[in-house]
Amino acid sequence: MHSRKISVFGLGKLGATMAACFASRDMHVVGVDISDKTVESINSGTAPVSEPGLSDLISSNSQRLSATTDVQKAISETDISFIVVPTPSKDDGSFSLKYVSDVSNTIGRALAKKSRYHLIVLTSTVLPGSTQYGVQPILERESGKRCGKDFGICYNPEFIALGSVIQDFLNPDFLLIGESDKRAGNLLEDILKSVAQNDPPTQRMNYINAEMAKIALNSFVTTKITFANMLAEMSGKLPGTDVDTITDAIGLDSRIGRRYLKGGLSYGGPCFPRDNRALGYIADKFNCNSLISESTDQFNQYHLENTLGIIQDHTKVRGSIAVLGLSYKPNSNVLDESPGLYLAEKLSAIGYKVKAFDPVSMENVREILKDPIYCAESIHECLSGVETVVIANPDAKFSSISAVDIHQNQRTVAVIDCWRMLRNELENKDRIVYVGLGIGKQSTQHKSHLAKIWNA
């Protein structure tokens, strides 16, 4: 295992987890953050952010992991620095490089006082051209040194999902490296290969190809999710149709694959929506057609509004609704562009009495959802007294909901199951109107439509 010393700039969900993972593979790691609270948390052996398994990973590797606000100290004591700071989206779909620029300036000034070679690795998601025309000139100007001779730069984005960052980082599908030169790329690949628990293939290229590949990959995944959601809408209207049966079948084709091919609620989170829009932004800037990325984004919002309409169709005016699943995905407390959160706020604004619960994110939810939305303390409390139940994200804890839990209301209850988690338990049960998105009902109207097509 390597004796290289690593610094990680930005100790958010990804940065803190990366730092802990490096330390868990016998590397000495210095985390750098502008927040004294975050630094104190790392130095006390506790996680500064919520991510499954992170607290244990930090505490068990605290001898090799420290944190500081002192950039000069971090640069002088390490050989490789990873930049993992936010790049917030702008209204036009582009990414702000403010934090990347700020940290590049401070790192550059620290490099000016260092005699030996240092590798800087940009991990934050950026637009194509950002490393070559943004980061490299800043580092060279502030350090007075030359990239490729005195220091190296790589662009190395991670393809991780919040809620499984540790597993994804230690077992990547592949390593994507945009390099200033072979020396920089060799050093980074050597480090990453020694950290990975699997044996991932590596794709090495120039900066701009790697930057383009990052947003292209996420944009492609959003297109795949959206295609499955389109099938779910169609399946919900074709009698006898089941979207899971369809996607399970076509996913066996090696050209398609099953991952992310599951009809459900719209995608959300801190990466997918913005990376798709960023690809469209780049296309527009160079007078290329961005119809696919635009259509994906538009359908994603349409699908959410369509689901809202289904909920309204099964709930009387000003009725009571339970929304289960407020984070954008299970096992995460992140609420960025969360479909469940959107539904709760929108239903309340329309005039429904909304109760909300999430197994992981309630602390964050309470900071956002205001009266008259009621934030429940448990699944049981959230279900009590409502006329409609919405399963907005597929958290495993919701799979244990039974007909008895629903029937505590002593009334007929509509269950809008966006992920079909409770189909076996609730479908065809007395006093439950079960609506699984993507499951076609045997309605006379829809049968008539099919008959007309056959007889046309």
Catalytic residues, by residue number, are 271
Q: Nearest to residue 19, comparing CAs of 42, 41, 40, 50?
A: 42
Give the single-character DSSP code of 408.
G
Could you tell me the two tokens for 152?
A: 């190296």
Q: How are beta strands 353-357 and 320-324 bridged, if at all?
A: parallel
DSSP annotation string for 301-345: HHHHHHHHHHHHHTS-TT-EEEEE--SSSTT----TT-HHHHHHH
* Strand residue runs (E) in 292-393: 320-324, 353-357, 374-375, 388-391
Q: Mapping DSSP to helix (H, G, I), strand (E, B) and coil, where does residue 146 land?
A: coil
- Give the Cα separation of 438 and 243 in Å (integer): 5
Could you tell me the two tokens for 436?
A: 């699984």
331 Rama sector, left if φ>0, alpha if ψ -120 to 50, beta otherwise: left
Number of helical (H) and strand (E) elements in the chain, helices listed first? 19, 14
The β-bridge partners of 82 are 8, 121
Q: Nearest to residue 2, comparing CAs of 195, 179, 186?
A: 195
Q: Mapping DSSP to helix (H, G, I), strand (E, B) and coil, where does residue 320 land?
A: strand
